Amino acid sequence: MQEAIKQKQKRMLRLIKSTDAIKSEQKPMIDSEDYYKQVERYAEQIRNTSNADEIIRILDVVLSETRGLKFSDEVFAAQEQVKRAEQKIESLKSELELLRGLVQTDQMTGAFNRRGLDDIFKREAARADRNAQSLGVVLIDLDNFKQINDNLGHQYGDSVLINLVNVAKETLRPSDIVARFGGEEFVVLLPDVEMEDALTIISRLQKNLAKIFSIQVDTQSIPITFSAGIAIRSFGEHQNSVISRADKALYQAKRTGKNRAIPALS
C-alpha cells in the first residue's frame, strides 16, 4: 500500500515539473497598450534615421518580435490586423531594398555608382582589415573614348560603356565589384588578391573586351581597349588614398602607350 502511495506521489511530482516547464517556455502575455507602445518605439527609431540598411534592420526586429509574442485575449482578437500589418512591413522592406539598389546603381551600365562604391568599399575594407586580407583597387579608363563619342556619337559611346561592364561581370570573379567612377572611368574592387593576381585578372579583362567588342573605322576593325592603374590597399588605408595611388598608376599607363595595367607605388 505504501509503495502504491509513493508511486502516485512520484507521478504527481513529474506532472508538476512538466507543467512548470511548459509555463517557463511560454513568452509573457502582452496587452494592446504595451504592444502599441513597443511599436511606437520602433517607429521613433525609424523616424530618426535615413539609412535604408538601418530601417530594414529595425523592420526585421519588429517582424521577429511581433511573430514571437503571446498575445492577451484583447490583442489575439485582432490577429488578422496583426497579419495585415506584417504583410505591409514585408512589402515596405521589399520596396526599401529595391530603392536602395536603385540609389546605388548606375542606371545606364548596371554597375554600382559612386554612392554604391562608397558603401561597398567600407564593407570590403572592414572585412579585409578584420581578416588580415588584401584588397585590390583598380582604376580603369577607356582609351580614346572622346574620339569614339566625337566620331560615332554618344549613343555608340554609351554602348561601349555598357559592353565594358557586361564583359567585366562575365570575366571577373563573383566576389569582385565593378563601379562607374565617372564618365568613362570605372573602379574594380578585387578582394583578397596580391598584385600579381590582380594584374592577371585585369589582363584577362582587357583581352576579353578587345576580343568581344570593337569599332569599325573605314574598313578597319579597331578593338576597344582600356588602361588601368592597380593599387593594393594597405591596412586601414582610406578609400581616397588608395584610389589616388591607382589614379597615378593609371596616368602612367596612359603616358606609356595605353591598353596596359600599371602597378601603383605603395
Catalytic pick from 184, 194, 196, 237?
184
Whole-prediction pTM: 0.65
pLDDT of residue 23: 41
The contacts found for 249-255 with CB under 8 angstroms, 24 or more apart, are: 249/139, 250/139, 250/140, 250/141, 253/227, 253/228, 253/229, 254/141, 254/143, 254/227
pLDDT of residue 158: 93
Does the annotation mark 44 as catalytic? no
pLDDT of residue 96: 60
- Cα(74)–Cα(142) distance, integer angstroms: 66
Per-residue pLDDT of the chain (266 residues; tens, 9 = 90+): 555 544 544 444 444 344 444 344 444 445 556 666 777 777 777 777 766 677 777 777 777 766 655 555 455 555 666 666 666 666 665 656 555 555 788 989 999 999 899 999 999 999 999 999 999 999 999 999 998 888 888 998 999 999 999 999 999 999 999 999 999 999 999 999 999 999 999 999 999 998 887 776 666 677 899 999 999 999 999 999 999 999 999 999 999 999 999 999 88
